[in-house]
Amino acid sequence: MTLNPADEKLAKRLPEGVLRDLSPAYLEEPRGRFFGQAGLIAAPRDVEEAAAVVRACADMHVPIVPRGGGTGLVGGQVMSDGPAPLVLSLERMTAIRGVFADEGVMLAEAGATLQQARDAAAEAGRQFPLSLAAQGTAQIGGVLSTNAGGVNVLRHGNARALCLGIEAVLPSGEIMHDLKRLRKDNTGYDLRDLLIGAEGTLGIITAASLVLAPVPAETGVAMLVVDSPEAALRLLSLAQDRMAGGVTAFELISGQGLEFLSEHFPQIRQPFETRPDWMALVEVGLPAGLAADSALEELFVAGAEAGLVSDGVIAQSGQQAGEFWNLREHIPEANRAVGAIASHDISLPLSEIAGFIRDAGTMLAEQGDMWINCFGHLGDGNLHYNLFPARGRHRDDYDDIRRDLSYRIHQMVVARGGSFSAEHGVGRLKTGDLARWGDPARLAAMRAIKQALDPAGIMNPGAILPISG
Amino acid sequence: MTLNPADEKLAKRLPEGVLRDLSPAYLEEPRGRFFGQAGLIAAPRDVEEAAAVVRACADMHVPIVPRGGGTGLVGGQVMSDGPAPLVLSLERMTAIRGVFADEGVMLAEAGATLQQARDAAAEAGRQFPLSLAAQGTAQIGGVLSTNAGGVNVLRHGNARALCLGIEAVLPSGEIMHDLKRLRKDNTGYDLRDLLIGAEGTLGIITAASLVLAPVPAETGVAMLVVDSPEAALRLLSLAQDRMAGGVTAFELISGQGLEFLSEHFPQIRQPFETRPDWMALVEVGLPAGLAADSALEELFVAGAEAGLVSDGVIAQSGQQAGEFWNLREHIPEANRAVGAIASHDISLPLSEIAGFIRDAGTMLAEQGDMWINCFGHLGDGNLHYNLFPARGRHRDDYDDIRRDLSYRIHQMVVARGGSFSAEHGVGRLKTGDLARWGDPARLAAMRAIKQALDPAGIMNPGAILPISG
């Protein structure tokens, strides 16, 4: 179906005062791989206005690009070609509609930032246990639409697991009211989880009912030196056996990452005098009556006895715990300062990780001189496997092999039952990967669902699925 | 579209040896409200045979009723009218394809019973933390297709939260291969969660990748006497604050339920000499180094200090813990022995529960002489709110008001933001409730998805959505 650009004719059909000035800020994504276009920018104040905007676009066959904080890394938030879309920004729908501390539930509008949601939970003596580097800017609607992950997935799941219900505008312009504060509700198809992770291609989430978790009575963090990713995984298994689900984060950090850090952020104190090849950042949240530092110390002893841990340091204060996390969170920044040849947001079955790291390292050594920084959410099997130019060389020197390197890495991941997009989504960057490696029956069903809910193809065209003829 | 009965012509198109004898066992459901029909019973041995059966039915427009253990309570497993369907039983697909203890993952075929899956996990030193009364008969495929709940949802979520991926036959007869052992995989629409809870109307789950959880180092169970459901909820909140997610079950038991138990199961020892009006069964799973009985004792003391708990008993052994659970699990059996006028599987936002119980009690007192047994998974807001004839009367005496009573109860639940089906699903019993109380935009989207994936309407017709013209 032919789509039309968002123009003056459409503008006249929109609710009064909903338009914003065109600004490049709405057309950018963090890595600069895509630059969007827009005919109009609309920022509705409530769900009825959002629905009116969608209805107008549906009537006139104008594409809509929903926009949250714009922090996504796969180009889901920018439409580079085709007729100039209407960008629908959720920036004015930022209310925390209610916090139900005793229920462990919060109702937040889609434009509230993740940080806002976390703060509102903390004020009520609870936590919203989704945490990622971009949380000051990323918005709840985007976090859900991309099913964001982050560092606490091991304990609390992805964004999808933290959402009980949504309010959304469907591509028809109808409002779906499903903002339930219920842990159990088996009344038909799970449209909530269908819209979550659909990257704005099946509708626009305007508000969500979110899970709040209790704040653990005791928390602690340790950095533990391990010989290998395999040892780290065995340590994780040991930790989970001991902690009854109390392991809230388990991050793998490589010696290469520590080296990048010391080059670009020398002010960040590194915990070990000799730089280890691998270390794990372990965070626990424990019941009252069990001191976190002694539980971590016992884990260290058990890990050392099992030959898995050779050195370690346990945070002695909340401030020191914060410093450990600060180190972890600066790794992506150091990576940016170095300038990656290629980045991969992959996941693997846990028992395939060590083999993948070994084989991928061998393969890359044959491809040319480069550095690998492999780090990330090991407990979830989610690695950020990033390649960097060797000293004295520049990322541009690898232009001719970049695509091939990524193809080979993704191929190795898929062959081991892994995913070429663990937490970032498909967006416009990985539509080719999805078409290549996605299961054909699943892809056919996805296309059928897209066609059924958005027959005119106006919702974020080109994201996830290519625009159909 | 007109559907045709499963007959000899279809039989000739099916894989060799896939048919079973017609037997009434395939046509029953536990409460005897529906009695099914079947033209043919097919039991494929693998997913390819299952796909061949579905393709044959799709070609000939023959309805298919997928059948697991047959324990569902809403008639999803029996098609009472229309052309005689093919019943597709998963009984021959019972393999545990793999247990990956260190990953916390198991691959199970749909016909494996829940108990089989739980046993396989236990053998590997892990747990599959989904537990419900029918687990010896209920099969994994049915458990997922109905998104079953049970007693550990508070800690581990519903069936949906325990599934990482599925293998399924879609209504077209295509096989969707999505049996991933991944915690993170953001590669397009969440078809897994769409088929989970779709009660066999969008396809047939033939195998699943399931989450295994660590077995907590310390576990314990207590029965605590509380004044009211409200006090129980405040106690739950207190327990969660102390246990950092270590509360694995929190069940509400009413004095009425205890009375039914003492009448029909006098051999089950009741924990308190004076029968309390309300009590909570609290189960905890805790890290190494924190004894469960002392943690429960401290909870008791804190609860007593807060005026929430007046008496309690903590299991002193695994055997006694088993006795506590045995008491809880016999409540539905005692209910069946009494014979309910009407049962309601409802959920409410936690802060609406006390008000609902109060108002519903008042309403019912005006409607006639009856007993209420209100019990269930309080931590999930999921109550089984069941009505029984007063002494000397019989459930048939209430025939003329039964429907009206259920209508009023569901109406009160929905008005408080609750659900008329918390964990049992819609099946054929509650299609009217869904049509009445479901959000119109959500229902329209559900119909569009059904039409898109199953245009001939062959998959479990009449379940969830009425058969369309």
The set of residues, in sequence order, having a beta carbon less than 8 Å from that of A320 and lying 6+ positions away, is A221
CB contact under 8 A, B349 and A153: no
Q: What is the DSSP letter of B159?
A: G
Tell which of B187, B250, B286, B450 to mutate to test the A interface (max A CBs under 10 Å).
B187
Rounded CA-CA distance A42/A86 in Å is 7
Residue B451: closest C-alpha in chain A: A452
Position A164: which residue type? L
β-sheet bridge partners, residue A380: none
Helix%, strand%, coil% for chain B, nearest 5: 35, 20, 40
**Residue at token pair 């296309």:** A447
Q: 10 Å Cβ neighbour count for B163?
A: 23
CB contact under 8 A, B185 and A453: no
CB contact under 8 A, B241 and A189: no
Rounded CA-CA distance B260/B254 in Å is 10
Tokens of B136: 């010896």
CA distance A428 to chain B (A): 12
Measured between CB atoms, which of A190, A290, A434 is closest to B290? A290
CB A64 within 8 A of CB A457: no
Helix (H, G, I), strand (E, B) or coil at B421: coil
Measured between CB atoms, which of B237, B288, B441 is closest to A174? B441
Confidence at residue B467, expressed as pLDDT on a 0 to 100 scale = 85
Domains, chain B, with CATH or none:
96-214 (3.30.465.10), 216-338 (3.30.70.2190), 339-424 (3.30.70.2740)
Q: At what angle do helices B229-243 and B353-367 cross, to 10 degrees?
A: 160
Residue burial A116-133, b: 16+ Cβ < 10 Å; e: rest: bbbebbeebebbbbbbbb
CB contact under 8 A, A382 and B233: no
Q: What is the DSSP letter of A39?
A: S
Q: What is the ipTM of this complex?
A: 0.97
Rounded CA-CA distance A439/A441 in Å is 6
CB contact under 8 A, B184 and A381: yes
Rounded CA-CA distance A278/A232 in Å is 8
CB A445 within 8 A of CB A432: no
Give the residue-averaged pLDDT of B135-143. 98
Decide if B48 touches A, using CB distance below 8 A.
Answer: no
Decide if B350 touches A, using CB distance below 8 A.
Answer: yes
CA distance B149 to chain A (A): 8
Chain B residues near residue A421 by CB distance under 8 angstroms: 185-187
Position B368: which residue type? G
The set of residues, in sequence order, having a beta carbon less than 8 Å from that of A331 and lying 6+ positions away, is A253, A257, A260, A261, A373, A375
CB contact under 8 A, A245 and B216: yes
β-sheet bridge partners, residue B28: B35
Q: 10 Å Cβ neighbour count for A380?
A: 26
- List per-residue pLDDT tens for chain A, 469 residues long: 699 999 999 999 999 999 999 999 999 999 888 999 999 999 999 999 999 999 999 999 999 999 999 999 999 999 999 999 999 999 999 999 999 999 999 999 999 999 999 999 999 999 999 999 899 999 999 999 999 998 899 999 999 999 999 999 999 999 999 999 999 999 999 999 999 999 999 999 999 999 999 999 999 999 999 999 999 999 999 999 999 889 999 999 999 999 999 999 999 999 999 999 999 999 999 999 999 999 999 999 999 999 999 999 999 999 999 999 999 999 999 999 999 999 999 999 999 999 999 999 999 999 989 999 999 999 999 999 999 999 899 999 999 999 999 999 999 999 999 999 999 999 999 999 999 999 999 999 999 999 999 999 999 999 999 986 4
3-state SS of A240-252 is HHHHCCCEEEEEE
Rounded CA-CA distance B405/B386 in Å is 11
Decide if A400 touches B, using CB distance below 8 A.
Answer: no
**Residue at token pair 């109406």:** B411
Confidence at residue B31, expressed as pLDDT on a 0 to 100 scale = 87
Rounded CA-CA distance B101/B67 in Å is 29
CB contact under 8 A, B351 and A100: yes
Give the residue-averaged pLDDT of B265-271. 95
Q: Which residues 100-129 in chain A show a CB within 8 A of chain B?
A: 100, 102-105
Helix (H, G, I), strand (E, B) or coil at A403: helix
Question: Which residue stretches of B250-352 are H helix?
Answer: 255-264, 292-305, 318-338
Beta strands in B148-233 (DSSP E): 163-169, 175-178, 204-211, 213-214, 218-226
Confidence at residue A468, expressed as pLDDT on a 0 to 100 scale = 67
Residue burial B365-377, b: 16+ Cβ < 10 Å; e: rest: eeeeebbbbbbbb
Strand pairing class (B40-42; B86-89) = parallel
CB contact under 8 A, A170 and B102: no
Instruction: Give which of B199, B69, B84, B205 is closest to B460, Cα–Cα.
Output: B199
Residue burial A91-109, b: 16+ Cβ < 10 Å; e: rest: bbbeebeebbbbbbbbbbb
Decide if A49 touches B, using CB distance below 8 A.
Answer: no
Give the residue-averaged pLDDT of B341-350. 97
The set of residues, in sequence order, having a beta carbon less than 8 Å from that of A22 and lying 6+ positions away, is A38, A40, A41
Sheet containing A382-389: order of strands: A309-314, A218-226, A278-286, A247-254, A370-377, A382-389, A345-347
Distance of CA B338 to the CA centre of its chain: 22
Rounded CA-CA distance A395/A389 in Å is 6
Long-range CB contacts (within 8 A, 24+) of A314-322: A314/A220, A314/A221, A314/A222, A315/A220, A315/A221, A315/A222, A320/A221, A321/A219, A321/A220, A321/A221, A321/A283
CB contact under 8 A, B188 and A214: no
Helix (H, G, I), strand (E, B) or coil at B89: strand
Helix (H, G, I), strand (E, B) or coil at A207: strand
Rounded CA-CA distance A219/A314 in Å is 11
**pLDDT digits 0-9 by tens, B10-27:** 999 999 999 999 999 999
